[in-house]
Homo-oligomer: A and B are copies of this chain.
Amino acid sequence: MNAIIISVGDELTSGQTIETNSAHLARRLAGVGIVTSAKWTVGDDREAIASAIAAAAKAADLVIVTGGLGPTADDLTRQGLADAMGTELILDAGRLAEIEDFFRRRGRTMAPANRLQAMVPAGAELLSNKLGTAPGIAARVGGRPVFALPGVPHEMEWMFDAVVAPRLGRNAGVVLYHALHAFGQGESDIASLIADLMDRSRNPSVGTTVASGLVTLRITSRGRSGQEARKGIETTVREIRSRLGTMVVGEGEQTVASVVGELLRRNRQTLAVAESCTGGMIAEMITAVPGSSDYFLGGVVAYADRVKTQLLSAPRELLDSHGAVSEEAAIAMATGCKALLNSDWAIGVTGIAGPSGGSEEKPVGLVCIALAGPSGTASHRHVFPGDRSTIRLRASLAGLNHLRLALLGGTAPRR
């Protein structure tokens, strides 16, 4: 069974508001075994709403519309739905009394405009809204169920869970989603390692996306029961992990920083960071994880060279001979930071984030990362593509990933 979600509102088509209702609904629909095949956004336009509903009821088994049920002149979902049904709006006297009562209980007088919210397409049913004055509507268009829900997110969420979901019942099966995050190779290289799992007809299926510098593998598992779908997820996770090995950074809500934190906590070890081009981003990522004070001592943002020499004891001659952006400088920063804060591990990062400051020998995107640990130091030289923010993000993730691999006892890939 599949669904199309229609979001209504000029603020959505114009891009003034980011539309989030449909993402919530799609996840909820998946929980009752319904796949969302498409999402459509239309403006506050009666004809556009009507033709979208009519087309959706032809293309999908279920249609959910959000928005356009308020009391003002630009709320046109009622009329659009009536047009798609080929009927007229009629007044629901019982519902009118309810709305009048809603205002009376709040010591207010109902504005005449609110009368519109007691109007319903003939043959459709109003759905009570416990959280506001805009009722929902349950209807059928061409034999297919159509639900119109308010656009205010918490009203829409409540109405879907309390009123709509129970009417959908259980369909043939359950759809579960799960995400694995990988780092260390490009999207296409990673995809080539799991090409057979990405076959579109496979169940579970696997898709890849790139977000915040990580390649995320999204597993979609269909089953007749939650248990069956979960089993599909587990099998596929195992298969992906066996092929990608330590390239898999984490799952679900895990981040590179949270995984590094778990490893450090398990080892009862501490971490400090010395950052130049990433300017505090690595420390920020680490401390975004609740409880990071268990293992993170702090760090030095050594933006000016003077801070590198003075606080981190990087020798002036070393910076002069190799340059502040060099593996030698990164090692000096990491070892200096480790000694300064007396930590078990320290990351040192120096690079050229751009847009200016690059040269032929040392281009924008060059980042040197060093790791000082209990048994010595290691350094890596990367050239990251992209703009300033991308380079800083990739450098931060790479720094954390070198540490993750070292904590796992592996070696960091040099890219």
What count of chain A residues pass the 8 Å CB interface test? 111
List the one stretch of A120-128, A187-195, A234-242 in contact with chain B: A187-195
What is the bound-complex CA distance between A211 and B283, given in angstroms?
23
Is the CB of A97 closer than 8 A to any CB of chain B?
no
Is the CB of A101 closer than 8 A to any CB of chain B?
no
A209 touches B43 (CB 8 A): no
Is the CB of A250 closer than 8 A to any CB of chain B?
no
A341 contacts across to B, CB distance below 8 A: 304, 306-307, 311
A188 touches B72 (CB 8 A): yes
What is the bound-complex CA distance between A279 and B297, given in angstroms?
10
A73 touches B191 (CB 8 A): yes
Known: A298-B303, A301-B280. A13 touches B37 (CB 8 A): yes
CB distance from A178 to the nearest CB of B (A): 10
Is the CB of A401 closer than 8 A to any CB of chain B?
no
B179 touches A16 (CB 8 A): yes
What is the bound-complex CA distance between A103 and B10, given in angstroms?
43
What is the bound-complex CA distance between A17 and B356, given in angstroms?
33
Is the CB of A323 closer than 8 A to any CB of chain B?
no
A301 touches B301 (CB 8 A): yes
B288 touches A279 (CB 8 A): yes
Kindly report which residue of chain B lies nearest to residue A382, judged by CB atoms: B106
B280 touches A284 (CB 8 A): yes
B38 touches A207 (CB 8 A): no
- Which of B42, B208, B301 contacts A72 (CB under 8 A)? B208
CB distance from A260 to the nearest CB of B (A): 14
A211 touches B17 (CB 8 A): yes
What is the bound-complex CA distance between A173 and B312, given in angstroms?
59
A340 contacts across to B, CB distance below 8 A: 311
B209 touches A17 (CB 8 A): yes
24 inter-chain pairs at a CB distance below 8 angstroms, sorted by A residue, are A10-B220, A11-B209, A14-B27, A15-B30, A16-B23, A16-B207, A16-B218, A17-B23, A38-B52, A70-B188, A72-B188, A72-B191, A107-B383, A108-B415, A113-B191, A113-B192, A131-B386, A154-B389, A279-B284, A280-B282, A280-B287, A280-B301, A290-B356, A298-B301
Besides A280-B281, A280-B299, A287-B303, 5 new A-B residue pairs in contact (Cβ under 8 A), listed by A number: A37-B42, A45-B200, A70-B208, A284-B284, A298-B304
B-contacting residues of A (Cβ < 8 Å)?
9-20, 22-27, 30, 35-45, 48, 52, 70-74, 106-108, 111-114, 131-132, 151-152, 154, 177, 179, 186-189, 191-192, 195, 198-200, 207-211, 218, 220, 273, 275, 277-284, 286-288, 290-293, 296-304, 306-307, 311, 340-341, 354-356, 383, 385-390, 392, 415
